[in-house]
Amino acid sequence: MPDPQPTPSLIPRLQARVDQFLWQPGLAQAAPLRRVIVRVLQTVYAIARDLVGGDLTMRAMSLVYTTLLSLVPLLALSFSVLKAFGVHNHIRPTLETFLDPLGPKGAEITGQIIGFVENMRVGVLGALGLGLLVYTVISLLQKIEVAFNHVWHVQRPRPLAQRFSQYLSVLTVGPILVFAALGVTATLFSHRVVQTLADLQPLGTIVAIVGRLVPYLLVTGAFTFMYMFMPNTRVRLRPALTGGLIAAVLWQSVGWGFTAFVAGSTKYTAIYAGFAIVVLGMIWLYLNWLIVLIGSNIAFYSQHPDYLSTRKRKPQLSNRTKETLALLAFTWIGRHFQQSAPAWTADALARHLATPPSLLARLLETFVRRGLLVETGDDPPRYLPARALETITVKELLSTVRTAEDEYGFGASSLLRDEEVESLLARADSAVGDALGSRTLHDLASAPVPAEARERAAVFAS
């Protein structure tokens, strides 16, 4: 008598039900409201999956440590820039607003930080001291970029020269824009005309509502700028704005909750005594970075919804799919090169081929290393054939894909040698070579292209 089949446990059954509901077939033909609701639930599920996986929490904790080391140098550099414009006094109220959830101790911490900043005179640090100051601040921005690149599945950071110049631009121009926006907002709401309108109904109600919305708009703008600038990839405005808006609402909501938590945290004071405020400050800083990364995650899933159903953060391709993707990518790069059309960026080509950008980026980097492609100096870079297409055979391209990872130190040559196995593989390679013949990438790029594919390429490449 056969053994009875084991009953699936509760968690796998619930997982199967959730997957069946969230990724049901035919969703594209469903009603618009249903599609929106399911997409929101898919995003919530994906964010929860990433939080449980631990990557976001680990990187948020890493950023807390880096921020603690860089906070005073960052404020000192911003203080020096703002002092030249006479608006350095705005740093204290901004810092007080950020630390407001810590209660009365927040004002005390603000005073201590401002004291450190005022004592750190950039002009008397000397060349070495100023260099260390700038390096500490740039290391914070670099750490933030690494975290954002991880969220966006970007494998390669900015080049060193580009990183240095862009970071310094943010450090000098960023504080001016932020505090200019704060100053204009404060001046506008204190203007006599606005005060007069506030006394009139229903205009007074509208002015009050706008006054409450302005902080959200400023925070949303700051988050949106961060999501568009920090990742080393092209982030479209709409996904960045979506992530920025949700992150701003989360930040304000969590701030209210944390304020209530601090007000009732008498046990922490009893246990940690004077260190209680340090512990609470680190928790608040951690929550802030976690919210920033969650917003970036939302922006990523909004721009790349194909990642929502991926269980692993790094989706894997079969060898056959890698070869297909490589041939498609090189064929379209070759077509545009032959027709003098705009060269492809990695993001545009990924959207055209309907593949996750991170998977295509790894293939393109392999082709660049092997001398099959070259990158232009554009930002982001575009890709062109490194040799004449007539000299690149299909067999060479497929062989490059098959051996792409061998250059990192472990390949077929490291395995146990077996003459029978090696002979079998040699015959298989010979059969592939005979089947492909002398077919080159020029032959593929010169093949007729359906009108629909040409129109799709023109949209994405532009």
**Mean pLDDT for each 10-residue chunk of the chain (462 residues)?**
53 71 69 81 87 87 86 74 64 73 75 70 61 78 89 80 76 66 57 60 64 75 87 88 92 84 67 68 89 94 80 65 89 90 87 82 87 85 90 88 69 72 84 85 86 79 68
Token pair of 155 as six digits: 């494998």
In 346-412, which ranges are continuous DSSP H helix?
346-353, 357-369, 394-402
In 6-125, which ranges are continuous DSSP H helix?
10-22, 32-53, 55-84, 91-98, 104-119
User: Considering all CA atoms of the chain, what is the largest pairwise distance in Å, rounded to the nearest integer?
Assistant: 93
| Residue 382: strand pairing partners | 345
Q: What is the phi-psi region of residue 26: left when phi exceeds 0, alpha when psi lies from -120 to 50, beta otherwise?
A: left
Query: Which sequence spans correspond to the domains of the chain?
Result: 21-52, 54-307, 319-408+417-461
Instruction: Tell me which of 3.40.30.120, 3.40.50.300, 1.10.10.10, 3.40.50.11540 is the CATH number of domain 319-408+417-461.
Output: 1.10.10.10
Instruction: Quote the pLDDT of residue 1.
Output: 45
Spatial contact of 355 and 325, defined as CB atoms under 8 Å apart = yes
Instruction: Quote the pLDDT of residue 120.
Output: 62
Token pair of 89 as six digits: 């006094």
- In whole angstroms, what is the distance from residue 24 CA to residue 38 CA? 10
- In whole angstroms, what is the distance from residue 332 CA to residue 324 CA? 12
- In whole angstroms, what is the distance from residue 432 CA to residue 57 CA? 47
Instruction: Quote the pLDDT of residue 418.
Output: 79
Instruction: Quote the pLDDT of residue 211.
Output: 64
Instruction: Quote the pLDDT of residue 165.
Output: 76
- In whole angstroms, what is the distance from residue 401 CA to residue 321 CA? 11
- The residue among 23, 16, 22, 49 whose CA lies nearest residue 8 is 16
- 3-state secondary structure at position 344: strand
